[in-house]
């Protein structure tokens, strides 16, 4: 084959220095921009880095489950994260736990954006930003959330999570979010269930206790998204907070529930005062629309 006429193109995902063909050396751009290097054989090398703190996540990663962006659950979610970041002064890390598109057509709960008189007052700046993304730009994507800095100064980990790559996924997540003092996990469904052990089909929709405990043990406060299952909701919240205490040795847990989902918030001891202040501000904003409970041992 004539290499010059028909070059072979190799994509290399790199986070630093990469050796090219015949000992040639290629450096990735520190801002994550692509660089194309050529070697004598006609091989093309394309390098790029994982996104840094302020770089938006590449489109190749975000083409999945964007139909939920900007719905009513997102409004509550990002209001909580923004309040923790601003009032609690936390450096927030967001572990999207993104999974492949499952073909479902739900995610249409955006009617609240057409009712600003009813909904805008809870968090005006956020409401306006989500309205711009959903109604004006019509670009419902995680990339839009990141580039518009919906959660100011947040760090994001956006790699695809599958049923079989969990070990490497969470090793990379831990490294990428190491400097965040509060990490938010956004699994499709929530915490693990007994019927779906790690590695089984559908396990990518859950966060497992062994994974969460790594972050708690490393000193992060953690926030976890949880869908309500088919169970009386007050009972489910009570059981969930008890299990957090038992599995993670936590002495204080907040449950923050809307009509559809609940967030479980575990503060490290050194973060308790800051988190308490942020939770009270969030309670003041949302009033009776949100149910907040603190569980202490």
Question: What pLDDT was estimated at residue 174?
Answer: 97
Read off φ and ψ for residue 196, nearest 5 degrees.
Answer: -130, 90
Distance CA 209, CA 232 (A): 23
Distance CA 46, CA 144 (A): 25
Question: What pLDDT was estimated at residue 141?
Answer: 66
Question: What pLDDT was estimated at residue 63?
Answer: 46
| Alpha-carbon distances of 162 from 198, 234, 241, 254, rounded to whole Å | 11, 31, 27, 29
Task: Kindly state the tokens that stand for 296.
Answer: 């202490």
Question: What pLDDT was estimated at residue 3?
Answer: 43
Task: List per-residue pLDDT tens for the chain, 297 residues long.
Answer: 444 444 434 343 333 433 333 343 344 343 344 344 444 434 343 333 333 344 444 444 444 456 677 689 999 999 999 999 999 999 999 999 999 866 665 556 888 999 999 999 999 999 999 999 887 666 666 777 877 788 988 999 999 999 999 999 999 999 999 999 999 999 999 999 999 999 999 999 999 999 999 999 999 999 999 999 999 999 999 999 999 999 999 999 999 999 889 999 999 999 999 999 999 999 999 999 999 999 997
Question: What pLDDT was estimated at residue 30?
Answer: 39
Question: What pLDDT was estimated at residue 102?
Answer: 61
Question: What pLDDT was estimated at residue 140?
Answer: 64
Q: Which of 257, 275, 234, 288 lies closest to 122 in space, CA to CA?
A: 288
- DSSP secondary structure, 265-286, as one string: EE--GGGHHHHHHHHHHHHHHH
Task: Kindly state the tokens that stand for 179.
Answer: 């400097």
pTM (whole model) above 0.85? no
Helix (H, G, I), strand (E, B) or coil at 82: helix
Helix (H, G, I), strand (E, B) or coil at 183: strand
| Alpha-carbon distances of 56 from 59, 143, 147, rounded to whole Å | 9, 6, 6
Question: What pLDDT was estimated at residue 276?
Answer: 97
Contact between 137 and 131 under an 8 Å Cβ cutoff? The reply is no
Alpha carbons within 13 angstroms on the beta-carbon side of residue 285 total 25
Distance CA 206, CA 163 (A): 10
Question: What pLDDT was estimated at residue 281?
Answer: 97
Domain boundaries defined on the chain: 9-48, 59-296
Question: What pLDDT was estimated at residue 104?
Answer: 61
Neighbours of 197 (CB within 10 A): 11
Burial profile 33-62: b = 16 or more Cβ within 10 angstroms, e = fewer? eeeebebeeebebebbbbbeeeebbeeebb
Question: What pLDDT was estimated at residue 258?
Answer: 93
Question: What pLDDT was estimated at residue 107?
Answer: 53
Strand order in the sheet with 182-185: 155-157, 92-95, 182-185, 221-227, 261-266, 252-257, 291-296
Question: What pLDDT was estimated at residue 27?
Answer: 41
């Amino acid at each position: 084959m004539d290499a010059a006429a028909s070059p072979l193109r190799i994509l290399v995902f790199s986070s630093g220095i990469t050796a090219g063909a015949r000992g040639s050396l290629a450096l990735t751009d520190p801002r994550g921009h692509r660089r194309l290097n050529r070697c004598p054989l006609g091989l093309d090398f394309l390098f790029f880095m994982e996104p840094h703190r302020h770089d938006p996540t590449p489109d190749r990663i975000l083409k999945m489950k964007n139909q939920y962006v900007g719905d009513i659950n997102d409004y509550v979610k990002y209001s909580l994260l923004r309040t923790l970041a601003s009032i609690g002064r936390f450096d927030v890390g967001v572990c999207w736990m993104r999974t492949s598109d499952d073909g479902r057509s739900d995610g249409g709960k955006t009617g609240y954006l057409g009712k600003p008189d009813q909904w805008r007052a809870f968090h005006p700046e956020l409401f306006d930003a989500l309205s711009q993304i959903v109604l004006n730009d019509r670009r419902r994507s995680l990339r839009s959330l990141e580039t518009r800095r919906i959660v100011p100064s947040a760090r994001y980990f956006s790699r695809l999570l599958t049923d079989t790559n969990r070990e490497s996924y969470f090793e990379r997540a831990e490294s990428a979010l190491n400097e965040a003092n509060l990490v938010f996990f956004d699994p499709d469904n929530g915490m693990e269930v007994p019927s779906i052990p790690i590695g089984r089909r559908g396990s990518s929709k859950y966060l497992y206790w062994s994974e969460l405990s790594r972050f708690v043990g490393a000193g992060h406060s953690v926030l976890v998204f949880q869908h309500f299952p088919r169970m009386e909701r007050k009972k489910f919240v009570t059981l969930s907070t008890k299990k957090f205490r038992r599995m993670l040795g936590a002495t204080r847990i907040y449950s923050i529930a809307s009509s559809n989902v609940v967030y479980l918030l575990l503060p490290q001891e050194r973060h308790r005062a800051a988190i308490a202040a942020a939770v009270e501000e969030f309670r003041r904003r949302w009033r009776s629309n949100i149910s907040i409970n603190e569980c202490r041992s």
